[in-house]
Amino acid sequence: MPPRPDLTLGNLCIYVKETCDCSFVDPETYVSTDSMLPDKAGITAAESIPTNGTVSKYRPKDILVSNIRPYFKKIWQSDRHGTCSNDVLVIRAKDERISDYLFALLSDDRFFEHIMLGSKGTKMPRGDKNQIFTYSVHDLTLPDMLTIGNLSSIINKLITCNQSINDNLLNICKSYYHKVISESTEFVFLSDLAEVCYGKDHKHLDNGNYPVYGSGGIMRYCEKPLFQGKESVLIPRKGSLNNVMFVSEPFWSVDTMFYTKMKNEYAGKYLYFRLSELNLAEMNSGSAVPSMTTDILNDIEIPYPGDELLQSFDLRIQPLFNQMATNNNEISHLTKLRDYLLPKLMSGEINISTLELPTKYSFSAASSHHE
């Protein structure tokens, strides 16, 4: 069923134009393009807030889309009242009942491809607000939109549940880390624990099963890994310098991202927690673009607890990291299900009437297996 040519996104929603002075910004609810996560992964806490000018306002059920570099697919459905950067589009359903359906519609890869077709600029493309609302949509009945919205909401809540569990597990690991670091009586340099290595360009690689990491997270999957060791800490070389990552699988790192080879097999997680709590952005060596160097990283002093305590710490938190990896796999499967099934339902390729979906969903029951 092709989309009806006269039915566009603009028939279903509006741009929210409410603004306020930045003096009213609450850091807890402020959303910037940088705090929006790539690949539809939601948001994280903003590292900074504006000090002058105005900001946009949003409310629960509004959909926020980053209008800078749309190919990163940054989108989030709000669950609160707050403010955001003027580079973030705030989109609201004309009929609040279809807010969840609208979020599913805007999360489709084809929507981001549409934005890119009308974007302007090369280094930092920006979507055209008028062109965005010309996106052709399928003419579905209200019951079908509600069904798709309900399914979208269920899957997204399961994803969020797993993410919340991982956040709690990570906080437990951090508490162990702080206990260990408080007992550390000597210092070593980062270069004593790990070798800092340069990432490489990935554009020549075919698609495959190995994640390609940039400063914003996974960019794509390629045919072969650059690193195959047990664990590595990834550190941005350009851009968002504080976005440190821990990886325990073979991967490829792009040329704007350092990766590390551990010199002590138990140092990976400990080094990750240490670097995550430092403000690497303050060590910036660049001017226009924040930059990091191997010399700066190698000279960072690391409190060292000794070999025995370091090994004990690593072994103690390994089961928690294993559980986080299991949850991440479930998130990956749910994400693939969402991105495969919902577009086919919205396009009519899969008949909604053939699905048996709950009309009311008990989320606590669905998440009880994690408790």
Which pLDDT band holds residue 358 (cuts at 50, 70, 90)? low
Same domain flag for 224 and 298: yes
Task: Choose among 116, 120, 139: nearest CA to 8.
Answer: 139
Q: What are phi and psi of 356, to 5 degrees?
A: -105, 95
On the question of pLDDT at 370 being above 50, the answer is no
Last residue of a domain, one of 282, 304, 326: 304
Predicted confidence (pLDDT) per residue in 120-139, tens digit: 988 889 999 999 999 999 99
Question: Is residue 85 domain-shared with residue 191, that is, in the same domain?
Answer: no
What CA–CA distance (Å, rounded) separates 179 from 332? Answer: 32
- Of residues 71 and 363, more confidently modeled: 71
- Evaluate if residue 157 carries a pLDDT over 90: yes
Give the CATH number, domain containing residue 278: 3.90.220.20
Is residue 364 in a domain?
A: no
**Same domain (yes/no): 132, 16:** yes
Q: How many residues does the chain have?
A: 371
Indicate whether 133 and 192 sit together in one domain. no
Q: Is residue 231 part of a domain?
A: yes
Domain that holds residue 104: 7-137
Among 53-62, 65-74, 119-128, 355-364, which is the least confidently predicted range? 355-364
Confidence band of 352 (pLDDT split at 50, 70, 90): confident
- Residue 323 domain-assigned? no
Domain boundary among 286, 304, 322: 304
The DSSP symbol for 118 reads T
**For the residues 100-119, what does the mean pLDDT come to?**
95
- Bridge partners (DSSP) listed for residue 246: 233
The pLDDT value recorded for residue 141 is 92
Specify whether 115 is located in the same domain as 24.
yes
Q: Do 107 and 191 belong together in one domain?
A: no
User: Residue 5 has what pLDDT?
Assistant: 55
Contacting residues for 216 by C-beta, under 8 A, at least 6 apart: 37, 38, 72, 239, 240, 243
Residues 133 and 230 in one domain: no
Residue 103: inside a domain, yes or no? yes
pLDDT of residue 219: 84
Q: How many domains does the chain have?
A: 2
The answer to whether position 338 is within a domain reads no
Query: Is there a single domain that holds both residue 22 and residue 132?
Result: yes
Domain boundary among 281, 304, 327: 304
Assess whether 117 and 194 both reside in one domain: no
Q: Give the model's confidence band at 338: pLDDT under 50 very low, under 70 low, under 90 confident, else very high.
A: very high
- Residue 345 domain-assigned? no
Poorest-pLDDT segment among 38-42, 92-96, 101-105, 159-163: 38-42
Kindly report, residue by residue over 161-180, the tens digit of the pLDDT: 999 999 999 999 999 999 99
Return the structure tokens found at 80.
């609160």
Nearest one of 27, 12, 84, 76 to 54, comparing CA atoms: 84
Q: What pTM was estimated for this model as a whole?
A: 0.79
Residue by residue, DSSP assigns 77-124 as E-SS-EEE-TTEEEEEESSGGGHHHHHHHHTSHHHHHHHHHT-B-SSS
Q: Percentage of the chain with pLDDT > 90?
A: 77
* 257 within domain boundaries: yes
Helix, strand, or coil (residue 152): helix
* Average pLDDT value for the chain: 90
Tens digits of residue pLDDT in 113-123: 999 999 998 88
Q: Is 253 within a domain?
A: yes
What is the Cα 216 distance to its own chain's centre? 7
142-155 confidence digits (pLDDT tens): 999 999 999 999 99
Say whether both 194 and 128 belong to one domain.
no
